[in-house]
Amino acid sequence: MEEILSNRSGEKIILLGNEAIVRGALESGVNFVSTYPGTPASEIGNIFYKIAKEVGVYFEFSVNEKVALEAGIGASFSGLKTLVAMKNFGLNVCLDALIPFVYTGSKGATVIIVADDPSCHSSAQSEENSRFIAEAAHIPVLEPADPQECKDFVKLGYEISEKFKIPVIIRTTTRVAHQKAPVILGEIKNLPKPEAGFVKNKNQFVTLPPRVLEMKKELIEKIEKIKVFSEKSNLNKVVGNNKSKIGILSSSISYLYVMEALKELNLNIPVLKLGFFYPLPEKKINNFIKPLKKVLIVEELEPYLEKEVKRLAKEANCKLEVMGKKLLPEIGELKPEYVTSAIAKITGKKYKFAISNLKSPIAKRLPQLCPGCPYWLVISAIKKAVDVSKVIFGGEIGCYMLFGNSPVDLQDYLSCMGSSVGIAHGIKKATGQKIISFVGDSSFFHAGIPALINTVFNKSNPLIIILNNQTTAMTGHQPHPVSAEAGTGIKIENVVKACGVKYVKTIDQSNQEEFVNTVKEFLEKDEVSVIIATLPCRFVAKK
Amino acid sequence: MVKSLEQFNMVIVGTGGQGLITLLQIISEAALAEGYDIRTSELHGLSQRGGSVEVHIRFGKKIYSPLVMRAKADLILGLEMQEILNGIYFANPKTKFLINQFVIPISLKKPLSENETLNQLKKISKNITIIPADKICQEKLQNSVVSGIYLISFATFKNLIPLKSESIQKAIRKIIPEKFLELNLKAFNLAKSRS
């Protein structure tokens, strides 16, 4: 941890992708950092939480990603150099604030980290590919492949943001964010902190029509200028033998698999490595594909680059054979062996793995609630209180989504944060069936409160169990509004009451009898009811 | 072991909470100290909590992919007897298996016997070493939490990992917090005396 602050410029140290992002922000002189924790981006916030005071940076865990981005927008409007970090689903949460921010543009340079998780190693809900945002919001997106690039691209992101007054997204994936490799340190300059001040400027900050459409025009012109920058940038570079008629186009982690595969196959063919996902350097791509007969596009998940190359090839080289998802999976992350097989196929090289089709005879273990987790007591109380086959159980995001695994099996639907309550309301309105929905403490503040108010406003009667373990446990025990270190004095029960809920009880779940009886009693109510289970996560209790 | 260090590929398999990431850090720091290029891959978050976990460590002259390619592992270290089977995807006939003789039951299932596991592994490679590291550390140090440190130290003394044992020792000093350092160094020394 001390190493990340090392001022020995030129030194080579091992950093995790997320640590390199922090280092890049520090070397750029970041002033303001906000985030909501989400794997695989969580370490960025965890590190700033530890070092912020020492390095003179403002840091906060915000209540959700939308608020985190809005805080960042405010800081940027006031002239501060800003970093906002989130996982892919966080991007969905903050989308409403993000799109107008690209219209207004940034004042203080702003970089937004978005971490995708192909193969859903640490994500329920969907295998989301955040690349969609680039076209939708007209926001520049850079894709680093390794920790060194994480650091360098963050710095370049700030330069682009500074130069063009636009926020820039750095998109990582699990295998980039959680990759360790040597990184050569740059200098952390002791820049004087910029004088923060919000200077009124309707023309820039107010997206009211008719001005908003002029802003859109200005934004599109900005992107054209950034495209010229992208064309010249060495982030988009060709490596390997230019004479071959077969080429490869790739980016991010997939590029590392391509290079590994070429080494394994002992091949030397040209590779266009793209650091910019948006705007794409179209001329560079055209020049690359012009002399080729075949090109293989190596990218994870949906074929965004493949579609672009097919579109460009129509003019640049209409006979070009463009291959991608024909040879590589669209679901799940890529692996070096998949890329090796695909390249062997297009080049006609014979390649066989030393072993064929031996499968492990044991299934991979699923994660479980920790031994001693206070949620076990909630599970046991519910199993004592109700016939679980006759009650619907709403789940959502946090440790308690593991209620879906056997032998617990208390989860009949699972979607995004806060949704257990919103969906319960809809099912109640549609069917009147009995429902218990679970919502975590951090989740309740993140997105549960509007849904709870909606059950009061539109009158439905699910039983909601708020699991207050006093921390954001799943992502590594970050503080939230009612955790002890926050010291806000907010009480969930008061919030629930203020939402207009009449039947609310705060219970220590080790008092099983009271918990069981309250579940039975509240399930019969004709209005929404809430139980708040108060035992802390054992890792918080240990602190 | 004579090995041109073009590349060394290692996979560690175990369950979330067994300290795989610490072992990864120690081996990477040792490899960096010896001047190698390094890339590793690890998983955090939901993938912990007692689920199956694998981490990848690669070092050598020039390394691109952080993931070990299928059938390309030089060493597969299993921190649990059954989990080693989740590593066979990376094995070839020359791969060495080093296994902790320690079983964590999979919920609702009867654990595979040691022989069942070994029969599966032997179909691929005969280079199998089983060490009761948890038992040894519990008996000699009254703490089995350092069994992973014991195993990577053992692997280095036995040249299963082509790094100098001093590099591993130095890396332990660098990575392990002061509070636990003595216990971890004892595990290193214990491995030295046993190898």
The answer as to whether A38 is a domain residue is yes
Q: How far apart are CA A459 and CA A440, in angstroms?
A: 22
Alpha-carbon separation of residue A328 from A295, A332, B188 (angstroms):
13, 10, 44
Kindly state whether residues A384 and A521 are assigned to the same domain: yes
Closest CA to B128 of B76, B165, B79, B52: B76
Q: How far apart are CA A132 and CA B149, in angstroms?
A: 44
Sign of torsion over alpha carbons B16, A90, A178, A46? negative
- For residue A86, the enclosing domain spans 2-232
Contacts of A366 in chain B (CB under 8 A): 51
Which two structure tokens, joined as six digits, stand for A488? Answer: 């806000």
Task: Decide if pLDDT at B195 tops 90.
Answer: no
pLDDT average, residue stretch B98-117:
89
Decide if B64 and A260 are in contact by the 8 Å CB cutoff: yes
Nearest residue of A to residue B81 by CA position? A362
Grade residue B3 by pLDDT with cuts at 50, 70 and 90. Answer: very low
The answer as to whether B43 is a domain residue is yes
Task: Decide if pLDDT at B90 tops 70.
Answer: yes
The answer as to whether B1 is a domain residue is no
Amino acid, res. A468: N
- Chain mean pLDDT for chain B: 93
Decide if A122 and B28 are in contact by the 8 Å CB cutoff: no
The answer as to whether A361 is a domain residue is no
- How many contacts, defined by CB atoms under 8 Å, are there between A and B? 150
DSSP summary character for residue A444: I
Kindly state whether residues A389 and A456 are assigned to the same domain: yes
Place of tokens 């360790």: A180
Grade residue B49 by pLDDT with cuts at 50, 70 and 90. Answer: confident
Task: Decide if pLDDT at B186 tops 60.
Answer: yes
Grade residue A406 by pLDDT with cuts at 50, 70 and 90. Answer: confident
pLDDT for position B46: 59
Kindly state whether residues A299 and A397 are assigned to the same domain: no
Contacts of B49 in chain A (CB under 8 A): 367-370, 399, 402
The torsion of the CA quartet A423, A424, A429, A432, rounded to 10 degrees, works out to: 150
**CA of B91, closest CA in chain A: separation in Å?**
8
pLDDT for position B1: 37
A300-304, A479-483, B43-47: which is most confident: A300-304
The predicted-structure confidence for A89-147, as pLDDT tens digits, reads as follows 999 999 999 999 999 999 999 999 999 999 999 999 999 999 999 999 999 999 999 99
The answer as to whether B144 is a domain residue is no
pLDDT for position B108: 72
We report the CATH number of the domain holding residue B64 as 3.40.920.10
For an interface test with B, give the residue of A176, A180, A375, A396 to mutate (most B CBs within 10 A). A180
Q: How far apart are CA A333 and CA A335, in angstroms?
A: 7
Decide if B40 and A179 are in contact by the 8 Å CB cutoff: yes
pLDDT average, residue stretch A455-472:
97
Task: Decide if pLDDT at B4 tops 60.
Answer: no
Higher-confidence residue: B120 or B195?
B120
Kindly state whether residues A381 and A483 are assigned to the same domain: yes
Grade residue B78 by pLDDT with cuts at 50, 70 and 90. Answer: very high
Decide if A358 and B89 are in contact by the 8 Å CB cutoff: yes
Grade residue B51 by pLDDT with cuts at 50, 70 and 90. Answer: confident
Which residue among B46, B50, B107 places its CB closest to the CB of A474? B46
**CA of A440, closest CA in chain B: separation in Å?**
15
pLDDT for position A114: 98
**CA of A448, closest CA in chain B: separation in Å?**
21
Grade residue B5 by pLDDT with cuts at 50, 70 and 90. Answer: confident
Nearest residue of A to residue B64 by CA position? A256
CA A258 to chain centre: 25
Query: Which of A232, A263, A285 marks a domain boundary?
Result: A232
pLDDT for position A543: 59
Task: Decide if pLDDT at A425 tops 80.
Answer: yes
**CA of A478, closest CA in chain B: separation in Å?**
12
Kindly state whether residues A228 and A255 are assigned to the same domain: no
Contacts of A362 in chain B (CB under 8 A): 82, 85-86, 106, 112
pLDDT average, residue stretch A50-77:
97
The answer as to whether B66 is a domain residue is yes
Query: Which of A194, A217, A232 marks a domain boundary?
Result: A232
Kindly state whether residues A6 and A57 are assigned to the same domain: yes
Contacts of B39 in chain A (CB under 8 A): 146, 179-181, 256
Decide if B16 and A367 are in contact by the 8 Å CB cutoff: yes
Decide if B85 and A361 are in contact by the 8 Å CB cutoff: yes
For an interface test with A, give the residue of B21, B27, B64, B68 to mutate (most A CBs within 10 A). B64
3-state helix, strand, coil in chain B (%, to 5): 45, 20, 40
Which residue among A39, A175, A181 places its CB closest to the CB of B46? A39
Q: How far apart are CA A253 and CA A361, in angstroms?
A: 30
The answer as to whether A250 is a domain residue is yes
Nearest residue of B to residue A180 by CA position? B40
Contacts of A182 in chain B (CB under 8 A): 32, 37-38
Contacts of B106 in chain A (CB under 8 A): 362-363, 365
Kindly state whether residues A320 and A196 are assigned to the same domain: no
Grade residue A539 by pLDDT with cuts at 50, 70 and 90. Answer: confident
The answer as to whether A145 is a domain residue is yes
The answer as to whether B184 is a domain residue is no
pLDDT average, residue stretch A442-465:
98
Decide if A178 and B42 are in contact by the 8 Å CB cutoff: yes
- Chain mean pLDDT for chain A: 96
Closest CA to A100 of A65, A70, A142: A70
**Helix or strand (DSSP H, E) at A30:** none
For an interface test with A, give the residue of B15, B37, B44, B106 to mutate (most A CBs within 10 A). B44
The interface predicted TM-score of the complex, written ipTM, equals 0.95
Decide if A366 and B51 are in contact by the 8 Å CB cutoff: yes
Kindly state whether residues A208 and A316 are assigned to the same domain: no
Decide if B37 and A370 are in contact by the 8 Å CB cutoff: no
Kindly state whether residues A192 and A259 are assigned to the same domain: no
pLDDT for position A1: 62
Contacts of A364 in chain B (CB under 8 A): 51-52, 86
The predicted-structure confidence for A254-310, as pLDDT tens digits, reads as follows 999 999 999 999 999 999 999 999 999 999 999 999 999 999 999 999 999 999 999
Task: Decide if pLDDT at A433 tops 70.
Answer: yes
Nearest residue of A to residue B176 by CA position? A1
Which two structure tokens, joined as six digits, stand for B73? Answer: 């592992």
Contacts of B65 in chain A (CB under 8 A): 256-257, 259-260, 336
The answer as to whether A308 is a domain residue is yes
We report the CATH number of the domain holding residue A390 as 3.40.50.970
Contacts of B51 in chain A (CB under 8 A): 364-368
For an interface test with B, give the residue of A260, A339, A402 to mutate (most B CBs within 10 A). A260
Sign of torsion over alpha carbons A454, A456, A460, A462? positive
The answer as to whether A363 is a domain residue is no
Amino acid, res. A82: T
Closest CA to A246 of A348, A165, A123: A348
Contacts of B40 in chain A (CB under 8 A): 179-181
The answer as to whether B55 is a domain residue is yes
Kindly state whether residues A220 and A248 are assigned to the same domain: no
Kindly state whether residues A208 and A242 are assigned to the same domain: no
Contacts of A399 in chain B (CB under 8 A): 49
Lay out the sheet containing A392-395: strands in order across: A413-414, A392-395, A435-440, A463-467, A529-533, A503-507
Query: Which of A177, A198, A232 marks a domain boundary?
Result: A232
The torsion of the CA quartet A121, A125, A127, A131, rounded to 10 degrees, works out to: -120
pLDDT for position B2: 36
Task: Decide if pLDDT at A522 tops 50.
Answer: yes
Alpha-carbon separation of residue A84 from A90, A140, A471 (angstroms):
11, 15, 21
The answer as to whether B23 is a domain residue is yes
- For residue B128, the enclosing domain spans 8-103+114-133+167-176
Task: Decide if pLDDT at B47 tops 70.
Answer: no
Number of structural domains in chain A: 3
pLDDT average, residue stretch A213-231:
98
Kindly state whether residues A310 and A393 are assigned to the same domain: no
The answer as to whether B191 is a domain residue is no
**CA of B194, closest CA in chain A: separation in Å?**
31
Number of structural domains in chain B: 1
